[in-house]
Amino acid sequence: MKLLVPLAAVFALCAGGAIPTVPGDNSHYVEGESRYIWMPDGEGVPRLVDLQEPVEQKLLETRNGANNQYWLYTRQNPHNPQVIVHNNANTIWNSNYNGNLPLKVIVHGWNNNGNSPMNPLITAAFLAVQDCNVIVVDWNELANGLYTFAVFGVPGVGQFLGNFLVWLINTAGGDWNNVHLVGFSLGAHVVGNAGRTAGGRPARITGLDPAGPQWGGNSLALTSNDGLYVEAIHTDGGLLGIFDPIASANFYPNGGRNPQPGCWLSTCSHGRSTELFASSVRTNHFVGRQCSNLDEAENVQCSGSILMMGNSIITKRGAGLFGLTTGASWPY
């Protein structure tokens, strides 16, 4: 993996400005203009990313959505996944997959994998409140490389996931009205492309702080048309996440920007979306109030109608901007 290593006291000028030298400090960053940004790796350690790093197209031919792995968790196997292989029906029959139960799908972001903390956190939350199938998508072969490379690979990862879900439901049963896709950061755009590939049939899609760098105005980003109900939880808008309301319902906890309560680095604010969602699945206690505009959302001045943020309710519906406040530590 090619990552920039900061050199102390060096401010080398470049097309997008100076190379920032304080790990995790994105105060320099201007969306759509800055060349460099700090992003967390799979352990939460800030890494400096060059948003203009060229993409090796030949590598995309071998590292693409065909490398996706699909790990099934159920109440019968809550900790040890069963791998389902696309187009291999025996891997379904030999698993605990039950087409009569709801299906939850979780997709990680850049520099993560199927074992990254967000996956067991959200999986455990789903299984605690509902008997369901949970599929964790591991796309680490694309995700664990240059950020720009991962961005280029997102549409393909999503298309392969969408085709996998169509095959799974057609082969072993299931109901699109019971399908909930959840994606974090780049994973939010992955599930958007998956829903699009499946004809917008998933009942619900949740984007957890959808990735911002290189996604503003990108036609391949998560949209409100990718499922029957699409929501986004914005926690680091304008930095690692998109601030614009790209979903049907857009939640802006604590203003939707860095810093979130209890966070000292912007990389923390980005990942906070996964923790807020897991907590909401277990307790459903985040009361969103509708906002008249983005200024109200950013300044937490919303007092309109109520829509709960997050949770696991598959029939949830709503549209608009919603603001709320949370605590600084679990369960927030």
Token reading at 146: 């240059």
| C-alpha of 81 from chain center | 21
Note whether 328 and 291 are within 8 A (CB).
no
Q: Which one, of 214, 175, 222, 233, lies nearest residue 196 by Cα? A: 222
Round to whole Å and give the CA distance between 202 and 191.
10
106: Cβ–Cβ under 8 A, 6 or more apart, which residues? 118, 119, 122, 123, 134, 135, 136, 137, 182, 183, 187
Q: Which one, of 282, 225, 268, 241, lies nearest residue 233 by Cα? A: 241
User: Left if phi > 0, otherwise alpha if psi is -120 to 50, otherwise beta: which for 58?
Assistant: alpha
Token reading at 253: 């906890």
What residues are annotated to the active site? 185, 209, 270
302: Cβ–Cβ under 8 A, 6 or more apart, which residues? 288, 289, 290, 291, 292, 296, 321, 322, 323, 324
- Tell me which residue has tokens 């030298």: 21
